[in-house]
Amino acid sequence: MELGLKNKVIMVAAASKGLGYGIAQAVAQEGARVSVGSRTEADILAAADALRRETGAETLGSVLDARDAASINNWVEATVAKFGGVDGLVVNAGGPPAGGFDDFDDAAWQAAFELTMMSSVRMIRAALPHLRVRGGGSILAVTSSSVKEPIDILLLSNVMRSGVVSLLKSLSREMAPEKIRVNNLVPGRILTDRVKSLDAIGAKSSGRSVAEQQAMQEAQIPWGRYGTIEEFGRAGAFLLSDAASYITGETLIVDGGAMKTVW
């Protein structure tokens, strides 16, 4: 299948590693020009260089603090200056800290709001004029399985990411006349540093070893293992592409069949 991503300009946030890097890698392999952003300059420049070497794609690495509006705007402006426009945006940011209700004060709630909800609003707001100039495009947000089945130790993520999904569903309808598609991509247990840290937390609280904790999690996945960032990235590339031209307002779950919810 030809995805139609060749020479498209795709922006991917939080892409120095993990899920973001997986999507950036997949679209680059399809011939897209890729602008990646992340907080640490050395890491994101290394990621952009790795993508260029692995795929031959044109890449741009930029410092991006998802909590800062000026940083987001600078990333979008740098992308347009280098590539001449934007065809797709991947909204992504690191997750809020783990914990339950009693663990968080007002400052923690506000920080989670800025990191997860407002970063999504600001990235979309900054990229939207450039998508409109193109006559359409695609917005894809990476959220969490917590938007379908709340996770006990991830209260902040449960709340904030559910808000992001509501935002995306609303925007999918509002932006459809402008040929801008808006979708949500949900990872299950994908083998990233974030999942490894959650396994470590779960192991500590349960008295298991990390290996035992991972084995317990894998036993609950019908596919019998954690997913890879490459598998997740290919799903993201599809939703960003012309091959998904009649898909908008949807949530695609990449979890090896683990989730039990019908909707």
Give residues with Cβ within 8 angstroms of 123, minimum separation 6.
Answer: 13, 66, 72, 76, 89, 91
Answer whether residue 263 shows pLDDT above 80.
no
- Examine residue 2 and state whether it is found in any structural domain, yes or no: no
User: Using one digit for the tens of pLDDT, what is the confidence trace for 34-65?
Assistant: 999 999 999 999 999 999 999 999 999 999 99
Answer for the pair 89, 127: CB distance below 8 angstroms, yes or no.
yes
Look at 99-108, 115-124, 141-150, 166-175 and tell me which has the smallest mean pLDDT. 141-150
Q: pLDDT of 61-81, one tens digit each?
A: 999 999 999 999 999 999 999
pLDDT at position 143 is 94
% of residues, the chain, pLDDT over 70: 100
Report the b/e string of 152-162 with b at 16+ CB within 10 A. eebbbbbbbbb
Count how many domains the chain has: 2
Q: Of 145, 90, 146, 141, whose CA–CA distance to 257 is shortest? A: 145
| Same structural domain, 172 and 46 | yes
pLDDT tens column, 195-224: 888 889 889 988 999 999 999 999 999 999
pLDDT of residue 194: 80
Q: Which domain holds residue 209?
A: 191-226
Tokens 């904030």 — which residue? 160
**Same structural domain, 109 and 93:** yes
* 161 and 64, same domain (yes or no): yes
